Amino acid sequence: MSRLRVYGIAFGFIVMVVVGFIFLRGPTPHISIKPETIATVGPVDVTNTMLTSWLVVATMIIVVLLTTRKWELVPGAVQNFVEGVVESFYNLVVNVAGEKNGRRFFPVVATIFFFVLASNWLSLLPVFNVIGEVHEEEHGFVLDDSSLGSLDIYYVPFSGPGALSGDTIEEDDPDHEALYEEAIDQGKVVGELFPYLRGPNTDLNTTLALAIVSAIFVEAWGISTLGLFPYGKKFINFSSPIAFFVGLLEAVSELVRLLSFTARLFGNMFAGEVVILMFTFMTPLLITVIFYGLELFVGVIQAFIFAMLTLVFGVAAVTAHNGHEEHEKHRQPEEGEGAVTEGVA
- Grouped pLDDT means (10 residues each) for the chain, 345 residues: 76 74 63 85 89 94 84 74 89 93 94 95 85 73 62 62 54 75 77 84 94 94 90 84 86 90 93 83 73 90 95 87 42 45 40
CB 122 within 8 A of CB 51: no
CB 314 within 8 A of CB 281: no
pLDDT tens-digit series, residues 304-340: 999 999 999 999 999 855 444 443 444 444 444 444 4
Q: What pLDDT does residue 150 have?
A: 55
Could you tell me whether strands 189-195 and 151-155 are parallel, antiparallel, or unpaired per DSSP bridges? unpaired
Q: What pLDDT does residue 314 have?
A: 93
- How far is 232 from 151, CA to CA, in rounded Å? 54
Helix (H) or strand (E) holding 6: helix 3-19
**Domain boundaries of the chain, sorted by first residue:** 22-30+130-195, 49-125+200-325
pLDDT tens-digit series, residues 113-128: 999 999 999 988 878 8
Could you tell me whether strands 168-169 and 131-148 are parallel, antiparallel, or unpaired per DSSP bridges? antiparallel
- How far is 149 from 128, CA to CA, in rounded Å? 21
